A and B are shown apart, each in its own frame.
Chain A
Amino acid sequence: MIQLLQSIGYNRWILHALVLLPLAGVVPVLLGDERSAKRMALAVTTLELLLSVGLWWALDPAQAGMQLVSSAPWIPRWGISYRVGLDGISLFMVLLTTVMMPLSVLASWTSITRRERAFYALMLTLLTGLIGVFLALDLFLFYVFFEVMLIPMYFIIGVWGGANRLYAAIKFFIYTMAGSLLMLVAIVVMVWKISAVTGTLSFSYEHLLQNAGSVGSAAPWLFAAFALAFAIKVPIFPLHTWLPDAHVEAPTAGSVLLAAIMLKIGTYGFLRFAVPFFPQVALSPGVSRLIVILAVTGVVYGALVAMVQPDIKKLVAYSSVSHLGFVMLGIWGVTLISVQGALMVMISHGISTGALFLLIGMIYERRHTRLIDDYGGIARVVPIFSLILTVVALSSIGLPGLNGFVGEFLVLLGSFGTYPWATGIATTGVIFAAAYLLWALQRMIFNRLDKPDNERLLDLTPRELVVLVPLLAGIVWLGLYPGPVLRRMEPASRRFVQTVQAAATTTTTGADMVSLEKGPR
C-alpha cells in the first residue's frame, strides 16, 4: 500500500487536495440544479473520504513530528505561509471529519428540502474549513480556517434549523468569535515578541513552538487568550451555554458536525497550541487545578443536566459537555495514557454522539417530535432502529467492548496518578451516563406502546442503514481492537507529554514518569 501511494506521489499532494477538493466541489454544486446538488455533494465528500484513507498508511507511525509538511508562501512580508502538515493527533481528526461528512450529507438526503444547492455548498465549505483547521501549521492560516468555518455553520443553523434557530445561530457565532478574536491578539503579540528576540517574523507553528519561551512574562496572558478561545469551543463549563442551543436548533447534519468534529477543535487546540506553547503556565498548580475542577464539574454537571432533559436532542447535547470534560481531564493528566485516552474519547465521542444525532434526526423525520415522552415502546414497531440506538447508547455510556469504554478508561487510568480526587469524581460521570441514557432508552423504545402515533412508524430505510453501519463498525472495531489507532497516536502523544513535562519541570512527579514508560502497546 505504501509503495502504491508513493508511486502516485500521494504524500506530496494529498493535504492540498483534501483542503481544496471540497472548495472546488462548491462550484458544480452551485451551478447544477437543486435536485442534483446532494448527489454532487455526496460524490465530492465520498471522494474526499477515499483520498483521505491513504493517510492511514502514508503517516509513518514511528515518527512523532509533523509529516507530509508542505508549504507555499502567502504573505511573505509578514512571514505568513500556507503551511500544512499532519501528525498522529491530527490524522484521526482528519479521518473523523472525512468519515462523518459523507454520512452527514446522506443523512440530509430527505430532511433538507429547501435551498438544497446552498445547503450542500455550505457543507462543502465547512468541510474545507474543518480539514484546514486540523492541518494548518501556520497560526495565521489556522486562525483564518478557525473563523471561516463559522460562516457555513451559522447559515446551516440559521436557515435550516429549528424554531429558535436565529437566536441559536447568533449566539453560536458571537460566543465563538469573542474567544477567537482575543486569540488573534494573542497570536499577533506572540509573533511580535518572538520576532523581537529571534529576528524572524514568522507565523509558522514550529518556529513559534521552539521559541515560545521567549514571550517572557506575557505567557500567562497569552495562554489565557488561547485557552478562552478553545474553552468556548470545547466547551468547558461554564462557557457551554451556546452548545445546547446550537445543537438542538441545528438540522441533523449540523448537529452531527458540531458534536462530532467542531467540539474537537477546542480540545485539539489545547493539545496542539495552548498547552505546548505555554506548558509552564498550563501546568502551574493554579491553572491546572482550575481546569481540572472545571473539567470534572463539566463531567458531572453535563450528566446531571442531561438526566432531566425532556428533549432527547438536548439530552445528547448535554452529554457532550460531560464527555468533553473527560477529554480535558485527560489532557491535563499529561501522561501518555491519559493523553491517548483523551484522543480516544475525542474519536469515540465523535462516532457515538454523531450516530446518536443521526438516529434522533431519523426518528424526528418520521414523528416530528423530539420529546422523550412522546415515544414509548417503539422497539416493537421499529426493531432495527431500536437495536442500533441501543448499541450506540451503550457505546456512549462506555460499555466495555465498545468504543466509548477505551477512551474513558484510559483517561481515568492515566489521570488517577496526577489527580486522584478529580478522577474519582469524574468516574461518577460514567455512572450518570448510564443512568440518563438507559433511562431515556427505557422510556423511548421499551415501556408500553401507548401512543397511537407511534404505531405506524417505519423502520430504517436502506439509505439510513448505509449511514449507520459504518459508524457501528467503528464502534465495535475501536472497542475490541483499538491497538492500531493507539499505536498511530502514540508517538505524537508521547512527544506532547515529554515536551510539556520537560518544559514544566516543576510539576513533574514520579508517577508521571512511571506511567510514561508503561505506555500501552
Chain B
Amino acid sequence: MIQLDTSTPQGVTMALLPEVLLSGWTLIVLLVASWRHGRPEDSRLAGWLSFAGIAVSLAGVAWLWINSATPVGLAQMVALDSFRYAAAALILVCAGGSILLSLGYLEREDLLAPEYYPLLLLGTCGMLFLAGAEDLIVLFLGLEVMSVAIYVLAGYNRASASSAEAALKYFLIGAFASGFLLYGIALVYGATGSTNLSLIGAQLAGGKLSLMAALGLGLLLIGFGFKVAAVPFHMWAPDVYDGAPTPVTAFMATGVKAAAFVAMVRVLLEGFPSAPALWQPVVAGLAIASMVVGNLIALAQRTLKRMLAYSSIAHAGYLLVAVWPGTRLGSGAVLLYLAAYGLTTLASFGFLAALGRGGEREVTFDDVAGLAASRPWVALGLSVCMLSLLGFPGTFGFIGKWYILSASVAEGQIILPVVLVVTSVISAGYYLPVIMSMYMKPARVEGAYQGFRLSPSAAGAIMISVVAVLLFGFWPGGALEAAVRSAATLTQTGVPVAHQ
C-alpha cells in the first residue's frame, strides 16, 4: 500500500509509471526502427523490442497494482485505483498479443515499413491514458493519441485499396466522433466548472442535471458510441475491421474497445452517478440495437473476417448491457467480459491471419472446410474460440456473459438479459457453421492446407489465449475475484446509483 502525491513531480511520475515506461520505450523503438529497417530481420527486431516494452510497462502496472497505489486526497489527472490497473493490464496483454500476431504476418505479407511497431506502441500509450483518465482533458488526449496511431495502422498496407479505404473511413468518422466528445466535454465543463470526473460528480450530486450538463452527457455518449462501435454509430466498423491488416484488426477489436469501454464506465460512474435516469435509457437502447443489428447482419456474412467484424458490434452490445446497471457489479462485468472477449478475439483473428494468404478478406466459411482433418489442433482452437464467443459453458465467454446477466438482473432488469440471450442464440447461427465447416465438410481441394503455417510467435500467442479461455471457463474464481475487487475501487463521490 503506497500513497502517491500527484502534486509532486516524483509522485506523478510514479503514478504514470506504465505510461512513462512505455512512451520512453517507444522512442527507443522508433530510433532503432529508423536506424535499421527494410529487412525482415529488422522488422523482427523491432517487434521483439516492442514486445519487451509492453512487458516492461506491464511490470510497471504490476508494481502499482501489487502495492495498491492510491492518491493523497483526490486523484488529479489520472486515476490511481485497481480499476485502472486491471484495465491497463488487459490493454497491454491485448497489445502484446497483437505484436506476436504481427511478427510472422508482416514478413509474410512483406509489410516491412518501419513505422508499424512504434505506432502500435503509441496507440497502446494512448489507450492507457484513455483508460486511466480521471480528467476529461486527459481522456481526450489519450483518445486522440490512440486514434491517430490506429488511423495510420489501419492504412498500413499501402498496396491494398481496401486498407486505404479503411484508414480514410476510420479517420473521417473518428474525427467526427472526437468532435462530439470534445463538444460534450466543453458543455460539461461549462455546466460544472471542472473537467475532473470526481469533481464533476460532486458538483452534479443531488440536484437535477442542468440542460447544459445533460447535453454534454449526451454528446459524450455519442462520442463513446462511435468509439465502441455501438449501433447506430457502427457504420464504420465492418469496413474498417475488414480492410485493415488482420493483426491491426485484432488490436482494434480488443484494445480500442477495452480502452473505450473502461473510459465510458469511469465517466458514467464517477462523473454522472447522479443521473442514471438520463443515461441508462440511452445505454439500454444502444445495447439492444447493437445486439440485434450486429447479430442479425453477422448472420448474413459470407467471409469470416466480416462476420467477426459484425459480431464485434454484437459484443459491444453485450458490454453495454454490463455498463447499464452503473453498479460495481456491472463494472466488474465489463472488465471480465473485456478480458474474455479480448483473449478470444485475439486468438480468432490470429487463426484468420494464418488462414489467409494476403487475402484474409476472402476467407469464407467454406474455405475452412475440412480443416479438422489436416490441422486438428488449429480446428480445435478455432472451435474453442467460436464457442467462447457464443458464450458456451466451459469457456471464458460463458463466464463473462453470465456475469453480465447477473449484474443486470441484480438491478431488476429483465429485458436486457432476455434480449442478450435471444440474440446469443441467433449468434449460434454464424459461429456454429465455422465449426461445422471445419469438422463436417470435406476439404474443397486435396491438400488445401498444405501451405498453412502459423508463425511460432503467433502460435504461442494463440495457444496461451485458447488455454486461458478454457482455464478461466472452468475455474473462473480468480478472474472473477480480480474483476470484482478492481471494480470496487472505482471512487464514487456522487450519489450512489440506485440499489447500491
Q: Are A184 and B402 in contact (CB under 8 A)?
A: yes
Given contacts A185-B405, A192-B406, 8 further A-B contacts (CB under 8 A): A75-B477, A78-B406, A144-B394, A158-B439, A165-B440, A169-B440, A170-B429, A192-B410
CB-CB under 8 A for A184 and B421, given A144-B394, A177-B428: yes
Rounded to whole Å, the gap between the CB of A219 and the closest CB of chain B is 14
Q: Are B409 and A75 in contact (CB under 8 A)?
A: no
The one of A77, A159, A184 in contact with B477, judged by C-beta atoms closer than 8 angstroms, is A77
CB-CB under 8 A for A75 and B480, given A158-B440, A185-B405, A185-B418: yes
Q: Are B432 and A173 in contact (CB under 8 A)?
A: yes
Binary interface encoding of chain A residues 310-340 relative to chain B, with 1 for a CB under 8 A from any of its CBs, else 0: 0000000000000000000000000000000
Is A58 located at the chain interface by the 8 A CB criterion? no
Q: Are A170 and B421 in contact (CB under 8 A)?
A: no
Q: Are A143 and B393 in contact (CB under 8 A)?
A: yes
Q: Are A174 and B429 in contact (CB under 8 A)?
A: yes
Q: Are B417 and A185 in contact (CB under 8 A)?
A: yes
Q: Are A188 and B417 in contact (CB under 8 A)?
A: yes
Is B476 located at the chain interface by the 8 A CB criterion? yes
State the CA gap A222–B364 with chains docked (Å).
Answer: 40
CB-CB under 8 A for A144 and B393, given A78-B480, A185-B405, A192-B409: yes
Binary interface encoding of chain A residues 156-195 relative to chain B, with 1 for a CB under 8 A from any of its CBs, else 0: 0011000001100110011001100110110011001000
Q: Pull 26 A–B residue pairs with CB atoms less than 8 Å apart, ordered by A.
A: A75-B476, A77-B477, A77-B484, A78-B406, A144-B394, A151-B392, A154-B432, A158-B436, A169-B440, A170-B429, A174-B425, A174-B432, A178-B422, A181-B424, A181-B425, A182-B418, A182-B421, A184-B402, A184-B421, A185-B409, A185-B414, A185-B417, A188-B405, A188-B406, A189-B414, A192-B410
Is B481 located at the chain interface by the 8 A CB criterion? yes
Query: Which B residues are in CB contact (< 8 Å) with A159?
Result: 439-440
Query: Which A residues are in CB contact (< 8 Å) with B484?
Result: 77
Interface size on B, residues (CB 8 A): 29
CB-CB under 8 A for A77 and B480, given A147-B393, A155-B439: yes
Interface centre among A151, A155, A182, A184 (most CB of B within 10 A): A184
Rounded to whole Å, the gap between the CB of A403 and the closest CB of chain B is 35
Interface centre among B393, B394, B402, B433 (most CB of A within 10 A): B393
Rounded to whole Å, the gap between the CB of A221 and the closest CB of chain B is 8
Rounded to whole Å, the gap between the CB of B340 and the closest CB of chain A is 15
Query: Which A residues are in CB contact (< 8 Å) with B422?
Result: 178, 181-182
Is A286 located at the chain interface by the 8 A CB criterion? no
Binary interface encoding of chain B residues 423-452 relative to chain A, with 1 for a CB under 8 A from any of its CBs, else 0: 011001100110010011100000000000
Binary interface encoding of chain B residues 279-306 relative to chain A, with 1 for a CB under 8 A from any of its CBs, else 0: 0000000000000000000000000000
Interface centre among B394, B409, B424, B484 (most CB of A within 10 A): B409
The one of A74, A148, A166, A182 in contact with B440, judged by C-beta atoms closer than 8 angstroms, is A166
For A181, give the chain B residue with the smallest CB separation. Answer: B421
The one of B410, B436, B480 in contact with A170, judged by C-beta atoms closer than 8 angstroms, is B436
State the CA gap A144–B428 with chains docked (Å).
Answer: 17
Rounded to whole Å, the gap between the CB of A458 and the closest CB of chain B is 31
Binary interface encoding of chain B residues 480-497 relative to chain A, with 1 for a CB under 8 A from any of its CBs, else 0: 110010000000000000
Query: Which A residues are in CB contact (< 8 Å) with B414?
Result: 185, 189, 221
The one of B402, B424, B428, B481 in contact with A173, judged by C-beta atoms closer than 8 angstroms, is B428
Within 8 A of B (CB), among A55-89: 74-78
CB-CB under 8 A for A166 and B436, given A77-B480, A77-B484, A188-B417: yes
For B440, give the chain A residue with the smallest CB separation. Answer: A158
State the CA gap A77–B387 with chains docked (Å).
Answer: 25
Within 8 A of B (CB), among A284-319: none
State the CA gap A77–B488 with chains docked (Å).
Answer: 14
State the CA gap A486–B439 with chains docked (Å).
Answer: 44
Binary interface encoding of chain B residues 370-394 relative to chain A, with 1 for a CB under 8 A from any of its CBs, else 0: 0000000000000000010000111
For A170, give the chain B residue with the smallest CB separation. Answer: B432
Interface size on A, residues (CB 8 A): 30
Rounded to whole Å, the gap between the CB of A310 and the closest CB of chain B is 27
The one of A76, A154, A177 in contact with B425, judged by C-beta atoms closer than 8 angstroms, is A177
Rounded to whole Å, the gap between the CB of A71 and the closest CB of chain B is 15
Q: Are B409 and A189 in contact (CB under 8 A)?
A: yes
Q: Are B428 and A188 in contact (CB under 8 A)?
A: no
What residues make up the interface of A, taking CB atoms closer than 8 Å to B?
74-78, 143-144, 147-148, 151, 154-155, 158-159, 165-166, 169-170, 173-174, 177-178, 181-182, 184-185, 188-189, 192, 221
Query: Which A residues are in CB contact (< 8 Å) with B417?
Result: 185, 188-189
CB-CB under 8 A for A169 and B405, given A144-B393, A148-B394, A189-B414: no
Query: Which B residues are in CB contact (< 8 Å) with A147?
Result: 392-393
Rounded to whole Å, the gap between the CB of A193 and the closest CB of chain B is 9
State the CA gap A505–B203 with chains docked (Å).
Answer: 56
Binary interface encoding of chain B residues 25-49 relative to chain A, with 1 for a CB under 8 A from any of its CBs, else 0: 0000000000000000000000000
State the CA gap A173–B481 with chains docked (Å).
Answer: 32
State the CA gap A75–B403 with chains docked (Å).
Answer: 12
Rounded to whole Å, the gap between the CB of A114 and the closest CB of chain B is 10
Interface centre among A75, A181, A182, A185 (most CB of B within 10 A): A181
Rounded to whole Å, the gap between the CB of B404 and the closest CB of chain A is 10
Query: Which A residues are in CB contact (< 8 Å) with B440?
Result: 158-159, 165-166, 169
Q: Which 9 A-B pairs have the closest CB atoms?
A: A181-B421, A144-B393, A158-B440, A147-B393, A178-B425, A185-B417, A188-B409, A188-B405, A75-B477
Rounded to whole Å, the gap between the CB of A457 and the closest CB of chain B is 31
The one of B418, B429, B436, B476 in contact with A169, judged by C-beta atoms closer than 8 angstroms, is B436
State the CA gap A177–B422 with chains docked (Å).
Answer: 10
Q: Are A74 and B406 in contact (CB under 8 A)?
A: no
The one of B402, B405, B418, B477 in contact with A76, judged by C-beta atoms closer than 8 angstroms, is B477
Query: Which B residues are in CB contact (< 8 Å) with A144?
Result: 393-394
Query: Which B residues are in CB contact (< 8 Å) with A173?
Result: 428, 432
For A147, give the chain B residue with the smallest CB separation. Answer: B393
Query: Which A residues are in CB contact (< 8 Å) with B436?
Result: 158, 166, 169-170
Rounded to whole Å, the gap between the CB of A70 and the closest CB of chain B is 19
Query: Which B residues are in CB contact (< 8 Å) with A151?
Result: 387, 392
State the CA gap A144–B432 with chains docked (Å).
Answer: 18
State the CA gap A221–B415 with chains docked (Å).
Answer: 12
For B417, give the chain A residue with the smallest CB separation. Answer: A185
Q: Are B429 and A188 in contact (CB under 8 A)?
A: no
Within 8 A of A (CB), among B454-500: 476-477, 480-481, 484
For A140, give the chain B residue with the smallest CB separation. Answer: B402
State the CA gap A399–B387 with chains docked (Å).
Answer: 46
State the CA gap A169–B440 with chains docked (Å).
Answer: 10
Query: Which A residues are in CB contact (< 8 Å) with B429?
Result: 170, 174
For B432, give the chain A residue with the smallest CB separation. Answer: A170
Rounded to whole Å, the gap between the CB of B446 and the closest CB of chain A is 17
State the CA gap A178–B428 with chains docked (Å).
Answer: 10
Within 8 A of A (CB), among B77-91: none
For B399, give the chain A residue with the smallest CB separation. Answer: A75
State the CA gap A76–B475 with chains docked (Å).
Answer: 11
Interface centre among A76, A159, A177 (most CB of B within 10 A): A177
Query: Which A residues are in CB contact (< 8 Å) with B428?
Result: 170, 173-174, 177
Q: Are A77 and B405 in contact (CB under 8 A)?
A: no
Query: Which A residues are in CB contact (< 8 Å) with B432?
Result: 154, 170, 173-174
Query: Which B residues are in CB contact (< 8 Å) with A169?
Result: 436, 440
Query: Which A residues are in CB contact (< 8 Å) with B394?
Result: 144, 148
State the CA gap A76–B476 with chains docked (Å).
Answer: 10
Query: Which A residues are in CB contact (< 8 Å) with B410?
Result: 192
State the CA gap A86–B452 with chains docked (Å).
Answer: 50
State the CA gap A12–B418 with chains docked (Å).
Answer: 40
CB-CB under 8 A for A184 and B405, given A78-B480, A148-B394, A189-B414: yes
State the CA gap A300–B211 with chains docked (Å).
Answer: 65
Rounded to whole Å, the gap between the CB of A190 and the closest CB of chain B is 9
Rounded to whole Å, the gap between the CB of B403 and the closest CB of chain A is 9
Rounded to whole Å, the gap between the CB of B387 and the closest CB of chain A is 8
State the CA gap A154–B394 with chains docked (Å).
Answer: 16
